[in-house]
Structure 1
Amino acid sequence: MTRELVYTGFVSLDGVVDSPGGQAEGHRSGGWVMDTEFVPEAFSLKGEELADTTALMFGRRSYEVFAPIWRDSDDHAAYKDLPKYVVSSSLTDDALIDGWGPITILRSEEDVATLKQTEGGAIYIHGSAELARRLADADLIDRYNLLVFPVLLGAGKSLFSRADRDKQTLRVRDSATYSNGVTKLVYDVVR
């Protein structure tokens, strides 16, 4: 049995995952998650994920953004001692953040495929749009946990690749719509 690789994220209706938290992240419409009325039950998926997560995976840029904040965050304390994997061809060991549990650098999609063959539970990818696209194109993503926000951004990093590839079928595992217009969509990749 292989480990499940789960992409989790906030996404606009047009598939953009860029800068949900603020303009400082780079997108001119940044902060679009914060512009949506907060309804606690719309974010319950994030709490459910905490119980299922046995490891985290990031691309280099997302790791560099999340690591210094999440390491000391009470909201992310459950992640502190979990194994973390950073997929990067350029990150060096001396650039890793101390005090945030075991961190391993993976250099390629092949390294990710090898990791999936090890013992353990679900590995969650947060942010990391470019990594998610590459891993999906390599048929390594097993599930998508998405909170879709009622906004069209028109530009920004897309979660999904535009590569000419074979059709990939998804099966709905769970879904819900909330009073603020956010929709939870949990899809398993059908193989």
Structure 2
Amino acid sequence: MRTLIVTEFMTLDGIVDSPGGGDHPRAGWTFTEVPFVEEAYEIKGREQAEAGAMLMGRVTYDEFAPVWPGMTEEFAGYNAMPKYVVSSTLTDPEWHDTTVLRSLDEVAELKRGEGAPIIVHASATLAKGLAAAGLVDRYHLLVFPVVLGEGKRLFDGHEQGSLKLVEHEAYANGVVKNVFDVVR
């Protein structure tokens, strides 16, 4: 069985909305409000090297698909690997090697297969659904010393269960890496 990893940039108050750009009034907060410290992003390179597939929701696909294929140096691994989009409306994905999944049951089937981990980028709504269905095995959270007060949250207070901290590190810019395994 494959490991399903949700990876997020998160504010101190739990917001995952628009970290690099988007609709939030303070969109891009990871770049505009916290100094860049290269080592804080080490986990992002590791994720790309270790993942065997990328899973995303429709909104994330719509944001990534026009940009990531042209970033051949930064995202060569992601561009080469199979990509899956959970969507009831997407019919003809243009990003190379992208398959549309219509339900979480199809995600569960994908997860039951053999292979390297499946990485879930952004996609807060999808991540909540995956968690509720018991499909998430691990969380990679880069927590930024920013408070937004409102926006999309990864956890909204209805979750149940425990997480085990398996890796953590704090960086000079105040970002904290937290890697949690889901306890079953």
TM beyond 0.5: yes
What is the SS of the residue equivalent to 2:43? helix
Deviation by residue 1:74-105 (Cα, 9 ceiling, x = unmatched): 21112112000000111112xx114x2x2111
Aligned to 2:53: 55
Task: Indicate conservation of the 8 Å contact 1:9/1:127, yes or no.
Answer: yes
Alignment of 1:125-136 (within 5 A): 125-136=120-131
What is the SS of the residue equivalent to 1:33? helix
Query: 1:106, 1:181 → 2: CA distance?
Result: 37
Task: Indicate conservation of the 8 Å contact 1:60/1:88, yes or no.
Answer: yes
Aligned to 2:101: 106
Alignment of 1:83-94 (within 5 A): 83-93=82-92
Residue 149 of structure 1: how far off its partner (Å): 0.1
TM-score for the superposition, normalised by structure 2: 0.95
Alignment of 1:136-155 (within 5 A): 136-155=131-150
| Unpaired runs of at least 5, structure 2 | none
Residue identity opposite 1:40 in structure 2: E
TM-score for the superposition, normalised by structure 1: 0.92
Task: Indicate conservation of the 8 Å contact 1:68/1:97, yes or no.
Answer: no
What is the SS of the residue equivalent to 1:145? strand
Alignment of 1:24-63 (within 5 A): 25-34=22-31, 35-63=33-61
Percent of matched pairs sharing the same residue: 49
Residue 31 of structure 1: how far off its partner (Å): 1.4
Residue identity opposite 2:75 in structure 1: H
Residue 162 of structure 1: how far off its partner (Å): 3.4
Aligned to 1:189: 182
Runs of 4+ in 1 over 6 A off after TM superposition: none
| Unpaired runs of at least 5, structure 1 | none
Residue 21 of structure 1: how far off its partner (Å): 1.2
Alignment length (residue pairs): 182
2:118 aligned with 1:123: yes
Q: Equivalent of 1:156, from 151, 155, 158? A: 151
Aligned to 2:6: 7
